Amino acid sequence: MSRPDVTPHLELTDVSKVYRGGKHAVDGLSLRLGPGLLGLLGPNGAGKSSLMRIVATVTRPSSGRLTYRGADVLAHPDLLRRELGFLPQDFGVHPHLTSREFLSYLAAAKGLPARAARARIDELLALVNLTEAVRRPLGAYSGGMLRRVGIAQALLGDPSVIVVDEPTAGLDPEERVRFRNLLSVLAEDRVVLLSTHIVSDIESVAGDIAVLAGGRLLRRGSPEELLRGQAGRVWEVLVDAGSVAAVQQHFVVSRMVRTGDGRVRLRLLADGPPTAEAVPVAPDLEDAYLGLVRSAPAGPAFAPSAAAARPGVRR
């Protein structure tokens, strides 16, 4: 299908969402999105799902503006809805329908012509690897298969804006790679907003990343820009297994690997060497993410407890 002549672009300006009790799920957030994929990273409770529902016109913000192609979406939500594909985190289905019946029902609700809908549904079922399961009721599908049905429904109308919230939950590794590759292709001329807390889902497809915490935008930039922010702050150190908890009290530990001899190799974030034996290493995107959402306390350098000091801390 041909894409609209006007380049799609979304803009959120000072958007907030406050729930009962005064909880700010989204707090004064501004973003501009053009064609391409923006990866939205943040811990659980960061406000990602609330933001996605606002962009998908499911939830109205408490304040702020949302525009699409320069038009006010809050006043005229259908301007965005007719060009939108949305996969929410919690996606419900009709368990007695087959995948083809369910997608046909949604296509009719979107006003798609029957003949075009049938061809599109067959194309999408093949795309998400469900062709062989089309005659089975959705109630017999696994969680991963249902997630693939959700992906298919989000793409039904050949949308110009695609909003997907935790899309790879329940997918096996091969399916996750397939879906990430699909999003990369779709993002060439569409606005794609991908929300997840799985760093690997972002680093393989997103050249533009926004990190949220507490409903606020902490940083937006390319992976390279986020990595530069943690340069010189990532270290590896070898400790006794009994010393791990003490290290975690003072530093953000991004990874730990047991060496098989009673010791653990830790990867951690610190402004300076946590021990004399610590080895500096290049940051990866997970380090950058953790460094933004969890600032490492500026506590004293770690020293092993007397009980754990037999082998001590080694390179």
Answer whether residue 313 shows pLDDT above 50: no
Which domains are assigned to the chain?
A: 10-225 (3.40.50.300), 228-308 (no CATH)
Structure tokens at 181: 């590759």
Tokens 């406000």, residue? 47
The pLDDT value given to residue 314: 39
Q: How many CB atoms neighbour CB 31 within 10 A?
A: 18
High-pLDDT (> 90) share of the chain, %: 59
Over residues 9-60, the pLDDT tens digits come to 999 999 999 998 888 899 999 999 999 999 999 888 889 999 999 999 999 9
Answer whether residue 95 shows pLDDT above 50: yes
- Give the end-to-end CA distance of the chain in Å, rounded to a whole number: 58
Q: Mean pLDDT, to the nearest integer, of 282-309?
A: 65
The pLDDT value given to residue 119: 93
